[in-house]
Chain A
């Protein structure tokens, strides 16, 4: 097990290095970190040359990548300093990341609970009205772009507020008063982003859960459990659901990457100060080091979650051996 983990981690290092190098080459070649300064008429060529020298912008790209990697592991300013705003990048990403994580985790929890419950029910009552209803809903969920769903919810709740002056959920921002991570105020703000992301993932989970339930429900040991006279409820809850849940773990981990992508649009629509919103803003400002910061943090996260998924899989299903 330990060797497996070590090998996976060792394997993901070159993946991260290659991907970050390729992104770095592209981002630093296409974007200009001093674009803001260049547009300022009072900037002289001398200052620009000096800055380019200080920030190694006059060096070849491989060397610049090396300096950037050193910046990423800098203890005081991890991920380096943004050249567009002269601000350290880490505090911003750290803060935004907390918000995004809160939204994503809540969305994952809602989607998994609902999706698993619906999946179980659809499989047990296969081809019932309930099953068909949720099959149609999940087809819709697959076809629905995240940003459009977010906009629909926003329009709906803006309309409700304007018509009846009832504030159910806020449609933008994070907090109205204070800065508490867990408060009613905060929940009112993040409810819609969470709902958007969980509706999208719900379709995925309910489908997978249903399919994996149907796989298990027809196996021999389930027939044995029924034959020895266990009540159907126990057969389903104890024998079927437990095994059917195993593939869901992998889906959940892989879905994490998709949620990070979904968070980009969701946070943009609801102007929520998270990673995705940060990324879009920095992309618009051509703040290359901030963009690189986002890319490397999310890449590492996705790699870690893939690894966790594989480990959980082995833990839950003893038939799988890693060596």
Chain B
């Protein structure tokens, strides 16, 4: 993404553009500006990012997904304003009612009369926090380690690759479950440290610990191929330090796939958290996440709304995230465009 900026093709351009390589600002030759202004044409300088943004904004499914996400995550973020009740307000006169418009129980009530819509909205908030934090933390972590491993190689690279191999050849879900289930009972300092933040953040830390390897692999791959490129060599020859090469010349090129993967990691983290909470090893009552709500509803198979509605919200979130991720891939990474839809 750091190639010299492109300028929209304008008839009759002859004089060369000048780019200040420190600021990235392109200056059009003076004569050209005058002549275009004279001709009534607008000279538009566009970066790769603005092309990407344009491609993204034109992606219909991605836009639908984005709007959906903004609505759902917005509800979650402002749960205390949006939800008609608090998530733990008990009403024993109104137990296990189906969804009605009466008394605003749009999603019905649960086994101790708590308004289910409010619980789902607070559940969205929990799931959303877990998903976003896991994606952010694992992306930053994976980016740093992947960059070091890919650029310097050596033992860091070796350990990293063996570790990701390990993760790939093992029943990851089962190991994740084991960690999540046993970390509470553990008496080690590390476990105590993690546990003191409460179950939501314990789960977040565990998930981030599992998710960073994917990003690290991708970043490492890009670094491995780019560090041999002529332009990196040229940068080295002109005296650029390692940090400058990593951050200015190579890292921006990894951002496309990294952003796509970070987006998809949000969905994966939300689903995995729901999976853990569903099995009782994630978020525990009275806290609510979408997974633990579904788990609670499981005890009442005839009260369909208790399982179906939070699940529908979960599926919608994941669908929206996947749409946005697809749109981002098409926009940021046009070469990697897969045969799709």
Contact = CB atoms under 8 A, between A and B. Distances in A.
Interface of A: 12, 15, 18-19, 23, 26-27, 29-32, 35, 135, 139-140, 142-148, 151-152, 154-155, 158-159, 162, 171, 210-211, 214-215, 257, 260-261, 264-265, 268-269, 279-280, 283-284, 286, 291, 294-295, 298-299, 302-303, 306
Interface in B172-197: 172-175, 177-179, 181-183, 185-186, 188, 191
B298 A295 contact: no
B185 A32 contact: yes
Contact of A215 (B177, B271, B318, B339): B339
A12 B315 CA distance: 37
9 closest A-B pairs by CB? A261-B173, A30-B182, A30-B186, A143-B318, A148-B311, A298-B171, A143-B319, A211-B339, A283-B181
Interface stretch (B104-112, B222-230, B274-282): B274-282
Contacts of A135: 341
B262 interface: no
A280 B294 contact: no
Interface in B281-332: 281, 294, 297-298, 301-302, 304, 307-308, 311, 314-315, 318-319, 322
B338 interface: yes
Nearest to A298: B171
Contacts of A299: 169-171
Given A30-B191, A295-B171, 11 more contacts: A19-B166, A30-B182, A30-B186, A142-B318, A154-B301, A257-B172, A260-B173, A265-B278, A291-B178, A294-B174, A295-B175
A12 B278 CA distance: 33
B302 A159 contact: yes
B304 A155 contact: yes
A265 B319 CA distance: 21
Contact of B275 (A139, A158, A265): A265
Contacts of B166: 15, 18-19
B182 A142 contact: no
B339 A26 contact: no
A260 B191 contact: no
Contact of B279 (A23, A158, A264, A303): A264
A280 B279 contact: yes
Nearest to B267: A143
B188 A302 contact: no
A130 B319 CA distance: 20
A246 B274 CA distance: 34
B175 A23 contact: yes
Contacts of A32: 185
A158 B185 contact: no
B34 interface: no
Contacts of A284: 181, 280
B183 A261 contact: no
Given A151-B298, A264-B279, A143 B171 contact: no
Contacts of A18: 166
B165 interface: yes
Contacts of B278: 145, 147, 265
23 contacts: A23-B175, A26-B179, A27-B178, A29-B188, A144-B315, A145-B318, A146-B275, A147-B275, A148-B311, A148-B314, A151-B298, A152-B307, A159-B302, A171-B301, A257-B171, A260-B173, A260-B174, A264-B173, A265-B279, A291-B178, A295-B175, A298-B174, A302-B170
Nearest to A127: B341
B69 to A, nearest CB: 13
A159 B175 CA distance: 35
B292 to A, nearest CB: 12
Given A283-B178, A286-B185, A291-B178, A152 B311 contact: yes
B333 to A, nearest CB: 17
Nearest to A294: B174
Contacts of B174: 260-261, 264, 279, 294-295, 298
Contacts of B315: 140, 143-145, 148
Contact of B169 (A140, A152, A158, A302): A302
Contacts of B279: 264-265, 268, 280
A23 B294 CA distance: 29
A303 B169 contact: yes
A145 B274 CA distance: 8
Nearest to B183: A30
Nearest to A158: B301
B237 to A, nearest CB: 39
Interface string B107-148: 000000000000000000000000000000000000000000
Given A148-B311, A151-B298, A261 B171 contact: yes
Contact of A211 (B175, B185, B338): B338
B171 A302 contact: yes
A31 B311 contact: no
Given A143-B319, A265-B275, A12 B178 contact: no
Nearest to A12: B169
Contacts of B275: 145-147, 265
A158 B170 contact: no
A92 B191 CA distance: 31
B308 A155 contact: yes
Nearest to A276: B174
Contacts of B183: 30
Contacts of A26: 178-179, 182
A188 B278 CA distance: 25
Given A151-B294, A211-B339, A214-B339, A15 B185 contact: no
B108 to A, nearest CB: 14
Contacts of A306: 169
Nearest to A35: B185
A162 B182 CA distance: 39
